[in-house]
Amino acid sequence: MSIRHVLDISDLAVNELNDVLALAQVPVAQLGAPLSGHCAALIFEKPSNRTRHSMEVAVVQLGGHPVYTRGEEVGIDVRETAEDVAQVMAGYHAFLGARVFRHDVVQRMAAVSSVPVVNMLSDVAHPLQALADVLTMQQQHGNLQGKRISWVGDFNNVAKSLAQACVMLGAEFVVSTPPQYRPTDSELASINSLGEGSVQYVAAPAEAVKGSVAVHTDVWISMGEESVAAQKAAAFAGFMVTQHLMANAQQGACFYHCLPAHRGSEVEAGVIDGPNSRVFEQAHNRLHSARGLLAWIFQQQSAAVKDSAQS
């Protein structure tokens, strides 16, 4: 049995990422209900709107039954270890989705789980968001090969997964953060190695967005970072995406944000609520891309079952 855990975008090969994005656009009725008769565990250690709803709906659309569980109820590494949670739940569910504070928790679950583990956001990765973001950009801008896409703000979990996906799809990804929050050279090298595109650091936001078809940002203070909120808010003060900043990007450039957003912090209201904002297209694509990923994961499994039956 081929178990495909997806803890970050780099768990997919470039052709597999393209297959997932293609499946995201296949009508539900053509997907054949691969989760029929199965349940899926969705465990959330942090709050969620988009991820919970898109994953629950995707599971139902694929014929399955989602079981939402709050982190404190399961008590990963509190009531029992992440390994015990994964091995118990793998006996009930077709896959385990987990939103966790620490990335090593999803890694430890995947290491022992007999069913796929899907990272629904950790401190370092948000692959489900990156899938929706590149799908939305492809719909807006066509093939991303050679297109400049910029990120202005915290180089956080959302930014890291998006950088991976963009490099894999051949885009030029540019990151602009205050120097003390910049990606390390080894982080940049490791993302650069994933595909034909590139990722680079450009300190000044106005320089970073030049020539960009898409400008992305996210909150400066992610869930779990509340204790450093004041320090980060001060450091990122010059990194708000404003209409003035957007004027430096390619004419007609679109604005993207994974949401939830804070108007007046990382983005000016005039940008996120303006005509070039694509944030609700992104949010709606969370459903289609989640369904595409799940359909792909179960296609891999059924192909492996067929192969082993023939051998």
Q: So which residues are the catalytic ones?
A: 99, 126, 129, 218, 258, 286
Q: Which of 107, 138, 198, 222 binds ligand NVA (CB under 6 A)?
A: 222
Q: Which of 156, 164, 177, 212 binds ligand NVA (CB under 6 A)?
A: 156
Task: Give, in order, the Cα–Cα distances in Å from 98 to each of 118, 163, 190, 218.
Answer: 6, 22, 25, 21
Tell me: does residue 158 bind ligand NVA (CB under 6 A). Answer: yes
Whole-angstrom distance, CA of residue 55 vs CA of residue 132: 12
Tell me: does residue 223 bind ligand NVA (CB under 6 A). Answer: yes
Query: Angle CA(283)–CA(286)–CA(288) in degrees, nearest 5?
Result: 125
Site string for ligand CP, 29-68 (x = CB under 6 A): -------------------xxxx-----------------
Residue (85 or 100) nearer to ligand NVA, CB: 100
Q: Tell me, what amino acid is at 42?
A: L
Whole-angstrom distance, CA of residue 41 vs CA of residue 222: 24
Q: Residue 49: which of ligand NVA, ligand CP, none does it interact with, CB under 5 to 8 A by kind?
A: ligand CP
Q: How far is the CB of 206 from ligand CP (least distance, A)?
A: 27
- Give residues 254-293 in contact with ligand CP (rule: CB under 6 A): 258-259
By CB atoms closer than 10 A (0-12, 13-18, 19+), residue 91 is: exposed
- Give residues 117-156 in contact with ligand CP (rule: CB under 6 A): 121, 129
Distant-in-sequence, close-in-space partners of 73: CB < 8 Å, separation ≥ 6: none
With contacts defined by CB under 6 A, name the span among 89-97, 153-161, 182-190, 282-290 that binds ligand NVA: 153-161
Q: How far is the CB of 72 from ligand NVA (least distance, A)?
A: 18
How large is the C-alpha radius of gyration of the chain?
19
